[in-house]
Amino acid sequence: MNTQHKTSAFLSIDEIANHIRAGQLTSEQMVMQYIERTQRLDKQLHAYIDVYSDEALNTARLRDQQAQRGKWLGALHGIPVAIKDLFDIQGKPTTGGSKAIPARHPQTDATVISRLKAAGAIILGKTHTVEYAFGGWGTNEAMGTPWNPWDMTTHRIPGGSSSGSAVAVAAGMAAAAMGSDTGGSVRIPAGLCNLVGLKPTAGLISRHGLIELCPTHDTVGPITRTVKDCALLLDIISGPDTLDPYTCQAPVRQLANDLDMNPTGLRVWVLPDAERQYVDMDVLEIYDTALEKLQQLGMQLIDKPLPNSLADAMQLGGALMSAEGYAKLGGYFEQPNDLFDPHVKRRILLGRQTSVAHYLDLLKQRMFAISAMQAAMRDIDLCVFPTNAISAIPVNEVDELATPLSRLGRFVNLLNLCSLAVPAGFSKAGLPVSIQFIGSALQEPRILQAGHAYQQATTWHQQYPSGLDDTH
């Protein structure tokens, strides 16, 4: 890892914005730096499916001209961001990480994209994803698997499905990125790449213009360097959208400037002993150290069993994901086409075995599970669990039938909780390990404040991958 003074490629959104407003940096300089790094590094890292160099530079120059005239569009004025290739961008193809199905060519932006642009953001390009976002390892046999930049000698998993988005930010090729989270797809790669990732409450952020996989579980979330950056992006992209009826009751909140709080007395539910056996010892050691830090900050640790095991949540959530994935995409995957990722195809086609009666029963089971978790969380403020049960393994060791990366993430989507992944340390092999702050529905303010307090008391997020400047 690199502990030296960071270059501007690793600045947070907040830092970049301050430098731009102070005249110490220009948007054009930032975009040029990210493009140069992408041209140099992405042959190996494979984060981007496409980079919009000319458009990004032209927009950056426009943002600089506007700044010189004192016209600031918003909190993201001149900030370059990357977008997962599930979101529609006007005039750009949306492939969903698939070569088997023709890309769609949208005439309008997804709501998230339009809100980013309205706040002054610059879209750098689209990033790789697991095919149709159905996988936690970050692998994609058809389009290629991004390379986790924390080991430049061994091709390790980036985590998925928002694989390219996390790699782009971790390698200093974007200031932040947008992802989606159906069973951990923002938090898993954020955790494996030493970044912050937010899975919000369903219905808080519009999914209009997003390729859906599992409507009961799908959420949109940012991947950033800091908790404050995550809160800033959430402020911009969340809220009601007439094009997405799921957001009709979404609150309008401004959280980024209200993160400082005294965490003393917060009641924190820790990972029960029954679940610890499924987590690597390396991860558990770092997790336990993080819990000690939370205690030092004044938080009260609570140990009690979950109302339903994480294994049960995995099974129920997986069944719903396959059923809804087949309903959305099964017609494509039934076609004889060798270009499909075979592992994604297997997961999708499992859903054709789900009858309507069985699906309705799955939804009923989900409601019972949500109710049980709500009751269990009445006497606590938040949960703090590891984000992932393992650190990043080599791609050639991946078992696509195993799901260790989903074990600690999928239950959050199933139960419509919100969760924030935050860097917490490094394994003995020097690979990132993360913890997640989990709250009840719409408790984003609490988990962001708690995560911010932890991040302010640690320096893990200030570490950057080494070996990037001499990679060819």
What is the set of active-site residues?
A: 84, 161, 185
> What's the token pair of residue 376?
């269990």
Burial class (CB in 10 A: 0-12, 13-18, 19+), 120: buried
Compute the residue count for the chain: 472
Ranges of beta strands (E only) in 206-351 are: 219-224, 267-270, 300-302
CB 344 within 8 A of CB 240: no
The rounded distance, in Å, linking the Cα atoms of 171 and 148 is 9
Angle in degrees, 0-180, between the axes of helices 27-45 and 13-21, rounded to the nearest 10: 150
Helical H segments across 218-258, by residue range: 227-237
Angstrom CA distances, 290 to 385, 388, 433, stand at 10, 14, 11
Q: In what order do the strands lie in the sheet with 48-51?
A: 48-51, 122-127, 80-84, 176-181, 219-224, 196-199, 418-426, 432-439, 382-386, 267-270, 300-302
Residue partners of 429: CB distance under 8 A and separation at least 6: 282, 391
Residues facing residue 445 across a β-bridge: none
196: helix, strand or coil = strand
Task: Report whether the peptide linkage leading into residue 163 is cis, meaning its omega lies within 30 degrees of zero.
Answer: no
Tokens representing 235 are: 């402020």
Helix ranges restricted to H, 98-186: 111-118, 163-170
Query: CA 90, CA 101: separation in Å to the nearest integer?
Result: 19
What distance in Å separates the CA atoms of residue 301 and residue 291, rounded to the nearest whole number?
8
User: Positive or negative CA dihedral for 249, 253, 256, 260?
Assistant: negative
Residues 6+ apart with CB under 8 A from 73: 63, 66, 118, 119, 120
Bridge-based pairing of strands 196-199 and 122-127 is unpaired
Q: Which of 235, 258, 247, 277 is nearest to 408 (CA)?
A: 277
Residue 136 Cα distances to 157, 233, 399, angstroms? 10, 24, 11
